Amino acid sequence: MRVAFILKGYPRLSETFIAQEIAALERRGLEIQIVSLRRPTDSRRHPVHDEIRAAVLYLPEYLILEPLRVLRSWWKSRKLDTYRQTRSLWMKDLLRDPTPNRVRRFGQALVLAAELPAGVGQLHAHFLHTPASVTRYAAALRGLPWTGSAHAKDIWTLPEWEKREKLASCQWLVTCTRANRDHLAALAPPGRVALVYHGIDLTRFSPKASTKPAIRDGTSAADPVVILSVARLVEKKGTEVLLEALARISPKLHWRFVHAGGGPLKRRLENRASSLGIADRIAWRGALTQDQLLAEYRNADLFALASRIARDGDRDGLPNVLAEAQSQALACVATRVSAIPELVRDGQTGLLVEENDPVALARALEALITNPARRRALGQAGQSRVVESFALDASLEPLARKFGLGPSGANRVLRTA
């Protein structure tokens, strides 16, 4: 049986965790068909994307741009015995959410149902919002089971009625943090929601001994402490708070800030850095590939992430970048938001402060800027925790079992026999 993975977009630099999951499941023997709601907007790819064998079906991102394709799909789908019931399901949703987005998702579902490749026996949605809507309608049309993975924004910005109904409709759903699991499990039938951490692929982020200087302590203008952050430039990542904290660090200390990641707030944050008088200490790298990111991790002395809950309720789950940084023995300073404390243990594998508190964040950064020995100790402890508890192979095991795959290694033997 092939499983169709329905994604928002593919490939995407910001969703490495999905690509590494697909590649790992393929290595375990799962036959996958990728279905993408939109085409890529960046020509760059991570190395893991080139390892994925799955074919990709792109649905029309905007129905008006492919009207004949949508019309053909509607004509084919309306002949199905399930069409009237599925249309009624969609109309019920549309009355509660009368938006163009809801219309678009039903149109995409019609195309998916009409063009679903032969042999696909299950649909799996990554994200509980729009991908799960398309998946739910298409699964109903084709009479197939559907499952899902929920992550962050898709959980915390959906209305409760929609979460309840999708959780009642799917066969099972996994999510990547205990906080997410507890929230969704309270809305779902018993046993429907399971915790599966994303995990870090340690073949890509190999925990090699650090070669970066261990003596930087902020006293040398010629050799400043390098602080790294990897985050999309959106509200929930708290980069503005991080800039405020950097501006509060003692002027006697020498540091340089490197930021990786793009996003809609880039110009605003660059202007804010200028107004704070720290723009000349900052390098904005933009979105980077995995290989480029690995080089930044290994060149940095300290990692910082100021995640917070956005005004619309959006928030991080468990940011993969924290585990990536720790895999390289990089000491981390982060906030007590969502599932971050599930990975970073305050005072043991990193330092945690409250969200939206630039004063506390500045104190934590100063404490590690001036103490390279403590940075090394926290970094090594974090690296050990990632290797022991957040390695991809171990994290993937419960998900592989849900897809009906045998123990690690068994499927590879069968595929090469």
For residue range 115-126, what is the model confidence (pLDDT) as tens digits? 999 999 999 999
∠ CA 36-37-38, nearest 5°, is: 90
**pLDDT score recorded for residue 407:** 73
CATH architecture of 225-389: 3-Layer(aba) Sandwich (3.40)
**pLDDT score recorded for residue 414:** 35
- Residues 330-372 have pLDDT tens digits of 999 999 998 899 999 999 999 999 999 999 999 999 999 999 9
Q: What is the mean pLDDT of residues 141-147?
A: 98
Binned at pLDDT 50, 70 and 90, residue 198 comes out as confident
Exposure string over 58-67, b if 16+ CB within 10 A, otherwise e:
ebbeebeebe
Binned at pLDDT 50, 70 and 90, residue 214 comes out as low
Distances (CA, A) of 413 to 32, 43, 203, 410: 18, 35, 20, 5
Q: Write the single-letter amino acid at 116.
A: L
Size (the chain), residues: 417
**pLDDT score recorded for residue 315:** 87
Q: Find the largest Cα–Cα distance for the chain.
A: 74
For the four alpha carbons of 24, 115, 149 and 318, in that order, the dihedral sign comes to positive
Q: How far apart are CA 280 and CA 274, in angstroms?
A: 8
> Does 2-199+391-416 match 225-389 in CATH topology?
yes
Distances (CA, A) of 229 to 48, 62, 97, 123: 22, 34, 37, 35
- Residues 278-298 have pLDDT tens digits of 999 999 999 998 889 999 999
Binned at pLDDT 50, 70 and 90, residue 212 comes out as low
Binned at pLDDT 50, 70 and 90, residue 153 comes out as confident
Q: How far apart are CA 126 and CA 344, in angstroms?
A: 25
Pull the structure tokens for residue 207.
Answer: 């925990």
Residue 122 backbone dihedrals phi, psi, to 5 degrees:
-155, 145
- Report whether pLDDT(413) > 70: no
Give which of 381, 390, 375 is closest to 333, Cα–Cα: 375
Residue 262: other Cβ atoms inside 10 A: 18
- Do 16 and 134 form a contact (C-beta atoms < 8 A)? no
**pLDDT score recorded for residue 199:** 85
**Which residues are CB-contacts of 30 (< 8 A; sequence separation ≥ 6)?**
3, 400, 403, 405, 411
**pLDDT score recorded for residue 416:** 31
What is the rounded average pLDDT for all residues in the chain? 93
Task: Determine the 3-state secondary structure of 148 from DSSP.
Answer: strand
**pLDDT score recorded for residue 130:** 96
Binned at pLDDT 50, 70 and 90, residue 209 comes out as low
Q: What is the mean pLDDT of residues 390-403?
A: 90
- Residues 252-261 have pLDDT tens digits of 999 999 999 9
Q: Kindly tell me the burial class for residue 366, based on how many C-beta atoms sit within 10 Å of its own C-beta (0-12, 13-18, 19 or more).
A: middle
Start-to-end Cα distance in the chain: 19
Going through 109-230 in order, the beta strands assigned E by DSSP cover 120-126, 146-150, 173-175, 193-195, 225-230
Q: How far apart are CA 394 and CA 17, in angstroms?
A: 15
pLDDT greater at residue 412 or residue 111: 111
- DSSP codes of every residue in 282-329: EEEEES--HHHHHHHHHH-SEEE------TTS---SS-HHHHHHHHTT
CATH number for the region 2-199+391-416 comes to 3.40.50.2000
- Do 218 and 369 form a contact (C-beta atoms < 8 A)? yes
Pull the structure tokens for residue 94.
Answer: 């549309």
The strand pairing partners of 3, in sequence order, are 32, 122
Q: How far apart are CA 413 and CA 40, in angstroms?
A: 34
Q: How far apart are CA 51 and CA 24, in angstroms?
A: 10
- Residues 161-172 have pLDDT tens digits of 999 999 999 999
**pLDDT score recorded for residue 38:** 94
Task: Determine the 3-state secondary structure of 42 from DSSP.
Answer: coil
Q: Kindly tell me the burial class for residue 191, based on how many C-beta atoms sit within 10 Å of its own C-beta (0-12, 13-18, 19 or more).
A: exposed
Domain boundaries, the chain: 2-199+391-416, 225-389
